[in-house]
């Protein structure tokens, strides 16, 4: 199998927490590898790609598992493609093997927004569900012994700028009727300035469309934002001003669609069972 | 934070403490007596339960359930005291379920708790039902800081502890998983004795075919009502037959196949959101509590997932999974030892009482 040999030749990406926890690499629902592919037949030049392997879940009934895997890989590829067509900054697709559960996407050199913001209480353990697009950070592979340079300086961005980018990218995505489904700060990557070459380098890249789907419903867009809101609150203390900046940029990107989404977002915030309903 | 050890704020008792717990938030009426000894050990002195069982095809209604509780509460409490070998005067406090649950059954049990407290001059402690489940699960299994999957007839939540609260990471957006299973049991007329969930589990073992059902996880939340409707719709299908034996070849649909498909799909969703929560907080322990937690298929699936991640699963049997009085006594006594007593004026019940509303004073 071509796909299987590609995985065999690749290296599984060490994730932040795996250096300290054992057994290694059991912390997400998929395995992620860095592999190399040839760009053309005649050249020896190889480019890195990122392989996401949805391995078989033993606990699930085999046919249920196969169906889910196939649908999710295909769905992820489809969502990425739709994003690319609509100009949302996402990694490009390099290969798809839905039956094997493998998706290959563009390798992005950079750091997740969660890492750049200092990640809150569970900071060091980059273990948010499904966050597996990784970055090979050769400079401080030691993890804890972070270099003295403020990462924000190294990446030549400010927090305000990042928040603005997050808001406008999400707005672009929602305008194209794509719902991400798992918006967290781990699923957004800031490209390293050295890697951001090309005609129009985008600084912020949205990743992990594993739970994405298309929908025109205001409801789904509002829930998408609510997921981000909860993720911000649970990983970054005092996140309100940051979130406010995100929503400001989102509002700008959505134009007149904003009012309906805003109204629904307020409804969504009140959900959940057995809340006390006083007044 | 994993790895960092914090000292428990709960002091070792200077003398043995004994508490009575009364539970009646749904169709089970329970009384249990627990002892926290001065050497730090905990003993279950008695755990008595009486279940209100309705005929097949029927659920339990609040007023009938309350009537059942009123009828049985005397004998249940008497039995629990007798089995424990203690007098009511020996008790340190009386704990009762404050919520969440069905209004009428909750009130009838709280009334008894109040009466006992006034008659024998004992302090009252109101307990959150969900916290009771979690604390009993932790006590019995010895799990330290697990991700908790709380699955019962009225609740479906993935819970993790952080900063003196049990925080809800994911939950059902509509009906609870036990409710989904119970209602399907009613559709195919399964017996409610000993419980509809148990009979579904037995029926599912005979199932051969996996029928396509919606798989609706939304991030860490899930939705179950559509699955119930779809499963029910299969019973109106031309291929559905209650008399044929299940077989993988023929295209008939039997009740056993439906039970099997329902369990496989719903439990796969539960295990998936639990796995997400484990990945999120970096925990390797899972604790399953609540009535549906007795289901061995769910325990198996969770075990496989936990082992894939290098962790393990903790589950209890029906004595402690299904609603019982002892868990109320355990959680109540923990908070009593932290100096918390519910004044008589605040011993009302509430149907809405979220797990994350409780201040967990006894944990670091």
Q: Kindly provide the ipTM of the predicted complex, given to two decimals.
A: 0.81
Contact B352 A57 (CB under 8 A): no
The reported pLDDT for the residue numbered B279 is 79
**Residue B319 phi, psi (nearest 5):** -60, -40
Q: Contact A187/A64 with Cβ under 8 angstroms?
A: no
Question: B352 vs B36, B98, B108, B176, B355, CA distance in Å?
Answer: 30, 10, 17, 14, 10
Q: Contact B150/B172 with Cβ under 8 angstroms?
A: no
- A49 to chain B, minimum CA–CA distance in Å? 24
DSSP-based three-state secondary structure for B361: coil
The reported pLDDT for the residue numbered A195 is 66
CA nearest B15: which of B286, B357, B337? Answer: B337
d(Cα A9, Cα A36) in Å, to the nearest integer? 9
Residues 165 to 194 of B: which have CB under 8 A from any A CB? Answer: 168, 171-173
Q: For residue A267, what pLDDT band results from cuts at 50, 70 and 90?
A: confident
| Residues B53-96 pLDDT 10s | 999 989 999 999 999 999 999 999 999 999 999 999 999 999 99
- A25 to chain B, minimum CA–CA distance in Å? 8
Q: For residue A273, what pLDDT band results from cuts at 50, 70 and 90?
A: low
Q: For residue A153, what pLDDT band results from cuts at 50, 70 and 90?
A: confident
Give catalytic status of residue A150 as yes or no: no
Extents of the domains making up chain A: 3-278
Other Cβ atoms closer than 10 A to A4: 12
DSSP H stretches of helix in B205-248? 225-234
DSSP-based three-state secondary structure for A37: strand
d(Cα B314, Cα B303) in Å, to the nearest integer? 9
- Asked if residue A113 has pLDDT above 80, the reply is yes
Beta strands in B85-191 (DSSP E): 93-99, 124-128, 147-151, 156-162, 165-171
Kindly give the pairing relationship between strand B312-315 and strand B285-289: parallel
- B349 to chain A, minimum CA–CA distance in Å? 12
Contact A129 B210 (CB under 8 A): no
The reported pLDDT for the residue numbered A114 is 84
Q: Which residues contact B214 (CB under 8 A, 6 or more apart)?
A: B226, B227, B230, B265
pTM (2 d.p.) = 0.83
The reported pLDDT for the residue numbered A142 is 40
A277: nearest CB among B219, B277, B352: B352
State chain A's mean pLDDT as an integer.
77
Mutate to test the interface with B, among A274, A275, A276, A279 (most CBs of B within 10 A): A274
| Residues A58-101 pLDDT 10s | 999 999 999 999 988 999 999 999 999 999 999 999 999 988 88
Q: For residue A119, what pLDDT band results from cuts at 50, 70 and 90?
A: low
CA nearest A186: which of A114, A251, A247, A118? Answer: A114
| Residues A126-139 pLDDT 10s | 333 333 444 444 33
Token pair 């839905």 in the structure block, residue: A98
d(Cα B126, Cα B243) in Å, to the nearest integer? 49
The reported pLDDT for the residue numbered A25 is 34
d(Cα B300, Cα B270) in Å, to the nearest integer? 12
Quick one: tokens of A82?
Answer: 């739709």
User: Which range, of A62-71, A162-171, A195-204, B10-19, averages the lowest pLDDT?
Assistant: A195-204
Mutate to test the interface with B, among A67, A129, A208, A271 (most CBs of B within 10 A): A129
- Asked if residue A145 has pLDDT above 50, the reply is no
The reported pLDDT for the residue numbered A200 is 53
Residues of chain B with pLDDT under 70: 1-6
**If you count them, how many residues does chain B have?**
364
Other Cβ atoms closer than 10 A to A141: 10
CA nearest B168: which of A243, A29, A234? Answer: A234
Span A247-263, average pLDDT? 93
d(Cα B219, Cα A119) in Å, to the nearest integer? 20
**Residue A18 phi, psi (nearest 5):** -70, -20
Contacts of B168 in chain A (CB under 8 A): 272
pLDDT higher for A259 or B281? A259
What is the CATH topology of the domain spanning A3-278?
Answer: Transferase(Phosphotransferase); domain 1 (1.10.510)
Q: What percent of chain A has pLDDT over 90?
A: 33
Q: What torsion, rounded to 10 degrees, do the Cα atoms B152, B156, B160, B163 define?
A: -90
Token pair 């900046």 in the structure block, residue: A245
Cis peptide bond prior to B194, omega within 30° of 0: yes
Quick one: tokens of B294?
Answer: 């007795």
Span A109-115, average pLDDT? 86
- Asked if residue A23 has pLDDT above 50, the reply is no
Q: Report helix angle B325-337 to B129-141, nearest 10.
A: 90
């Amino acid at each position: 199998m071509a796909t299987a040999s590609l995985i065999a030749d690749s290296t599984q990406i060490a994730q932040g927490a795996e250096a300290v926890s054992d057994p290694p690499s059991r912390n997400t629902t998929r395995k992620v590898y860095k592999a190399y592919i040839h760009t053309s037949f005649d050249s020896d030049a190889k480019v890195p790609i990122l392989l996401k392997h949805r391995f078989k879940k033993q606990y699930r009934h085999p046919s249920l598992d196969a169906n889910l895997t196939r649908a999710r890989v295909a769905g992820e590829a489809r969502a990425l493609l739709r994003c690319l067509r609509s100009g949302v900054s996402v990694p490009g697709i390099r290969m798809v093997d839905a039956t094997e559960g493998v998706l290959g996407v563009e390798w992005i050199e950079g750091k997740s927004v969660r890492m750049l913001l200092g990640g809150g209480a569970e900071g060091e353990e980059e273990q948010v569900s499904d966050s597996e697009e990784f970055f090979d950070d050769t400079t401080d592979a030691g993890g804890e012994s972070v270099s003295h340079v403020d990462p924000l300086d190294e990446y030549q961005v400010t927090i305000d700028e990042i928040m603005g980018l997050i808001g406008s990218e999400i707005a672009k995505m929602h305008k194209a009727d794509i719902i991400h489904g798992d918006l967290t700060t781990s699923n957004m990557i800031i490209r390293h300035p050295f890697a951001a070459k090309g005609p129009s380098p985008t600084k912020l890249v949205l990743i992990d469309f594993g739970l994405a789907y298309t929908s025109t419903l205001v409801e789904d867009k509002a829930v998408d934002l609510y997921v981000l809101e909860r993720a911000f609150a649970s990983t970054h203390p005092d996140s309100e001003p940051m979130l406010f900046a995100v929503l400001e940029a989102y509002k700008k990107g959505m134009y007149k669609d904003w009012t309906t989404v805003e109204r629904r977002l307020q409804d969504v915030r009140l959900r959940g069972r057995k809340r006390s309903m006083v007044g | 934070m994993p790895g960092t050890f914090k000292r428990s704020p709960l002091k070792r008792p200077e003398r043995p403490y004994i508490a009575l717990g009364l539970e009646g938030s749904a169709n089970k009426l329970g009384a249990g007596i627990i002892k926290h000894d001065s050497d730090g050990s905990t003993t279950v002195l008695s755990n008595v339960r009486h279940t209100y069982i309705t005929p097949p095809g029927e659920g339990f209604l609040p007023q009938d359930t309350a009537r059942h509780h009123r009828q049985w509460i005397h004998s249940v409490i008497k039995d629990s005291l007798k089995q424990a070998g203690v007098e009511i005067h020996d008790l340190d406090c009386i704990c009762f379920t404050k919520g969440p649950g069905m209004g009428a059954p909750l009130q009838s049990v709280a009334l008894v708790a109040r009466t006992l407290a006034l008659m024998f001059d004992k302090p009252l402690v109101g307990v959150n039902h969900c916290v009771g489940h979690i604390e009993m699960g932790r006590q019995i299994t010895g799990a330290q800081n697990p991700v908790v999957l709380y699955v019962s007839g009225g609740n479906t939540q993935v819970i993790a502890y952080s900063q003196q609260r049990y925080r809800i990471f994911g939950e059902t957006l509509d009906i609870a998983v036990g409710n989904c299973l119970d209602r399907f049991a009613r559709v195919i007329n399964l017996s409610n004795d000993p419980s509809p969930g148990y009979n579904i589990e037995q029926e599912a073992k005979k199932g051969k075919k996996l029928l396509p059902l919606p798989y609706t996880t939304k991030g860490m939340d899930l939705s179950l009502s559509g699955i119930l409707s779809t499963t029910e719709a299969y019973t109106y299908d031309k291929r559905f037959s209650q008399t044929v034996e299940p077989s993988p070849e023929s295209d008939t649909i039997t009740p056993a196949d439906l039970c099997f498909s329902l369990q496989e799909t719903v439990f796969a969703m539960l295990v998936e959101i639990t796995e997400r929560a484990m990945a999120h907080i970096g925990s390797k322990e899972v604790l399953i509590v609540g009535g549906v937690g007795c289901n061995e298929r769910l325990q198996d699936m969770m075990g496989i997932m936990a082992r894939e991640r290098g962790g393990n699963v903790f589950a209890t049997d029906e004595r402690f999974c299904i609603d019982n009085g002892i868990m109320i006594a355990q959680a109540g006594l923990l908070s009593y030892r932290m100096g918390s007593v519910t004044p008589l004026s605040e011993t009302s019940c509430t149907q809405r009482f979220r797990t994350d509303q409780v201040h967990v004073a006894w944990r670091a």
